[in-house]
């Protein structure tokens, strides 16, 4: 069995790979729809997933996380701090959910969230780095 039809012989100068009709073995089977998103929507009618990315940047004073959620209002977005410094950003409908473990230097008690134009921004201040207290010690002794 051949995926590419071999009964049509063409010269190499006439070959156009985009013109070939490829055989789809799952075309006639209803159990194998053409895309996985169709399967998901058949199993969960009325549910829509959001394809968004989470950007994490780090400044000298804070960790800044941004998620673009243009289809949601402020009251639809949930920002939660869970145990072990796990930050969860999700929507009421369940269409978007992501979890991030915050680093040790995050001041989780001062976490702030702000949403504008469909972008939720979470700012987590950092613990101030302690500069070591260094002092020179005079060495005494006999030479």
Quick one: residue 137, left, alpha or beta (phi over 0 = left, psi -120 to 50 = alpha)? beta
Write the DSSP symbol of residue 46: T
**Confidence category of residue 133, pLDDT binned at 50, 70, 90:** confident
Q: Indicate the CATH number for domain 54-125.
A: 2.60.40.790
Q: Is 131 helix (H, G, I), strand (E, B) or coil?
A: coil
Give the pLDDT confidence score for residue 125 in this predicted structure: 96
Measure the CA–CA gap between 90 and 97, rounded to whole angstroms. 4
Measure the CA–CA gap between 49 and 71, rounded to whole angstroms. 11
pLDDT tens by residue, 65-104: 999 998 889 999 999 999 989 999 999 888 889 999 999 9
Domain assignments of the chain as residue spans, ordered by start:
12-43, 54-125
pLDDT tens by residue, 18-71: 555 555 555 555 554 444 445 544 555 555 556 678 899 999 999 999 999 988
Pick the closest to residue 61 from 126, 107, 122 (CA basis). Answer: 126
């Amino acid at each position: 069995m051949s995926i590419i039809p071999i009964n049509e012989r063409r010269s190499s100068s006439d070959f156009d790979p985009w013109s070939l009709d490829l055989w789809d073995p799952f075309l006639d089977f209803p159990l194998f729809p053409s895309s996985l998103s169709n399967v998901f929507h058949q199993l969960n009618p009325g549910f829509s997933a959001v394809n968004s990315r989470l950007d994490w940047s780090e400044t000298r004073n804070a960790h800044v996380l941004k998620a673009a959620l243009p289809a949601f209002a402020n009251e639809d977005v949930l920002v939660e701090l869970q145990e072990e410094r796990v930050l969860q950003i999700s929507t009421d409908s369940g269409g978007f959910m992501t979890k991030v473990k915050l680093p040790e230097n995050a001041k989780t008690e001062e976490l702030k969230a702000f949403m504008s134009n469909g972008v939720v921004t979470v700012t987590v201040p950092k613990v101030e780095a302690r500069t070591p207290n260094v002092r020179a010690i005079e060495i005494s002794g006999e030479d």
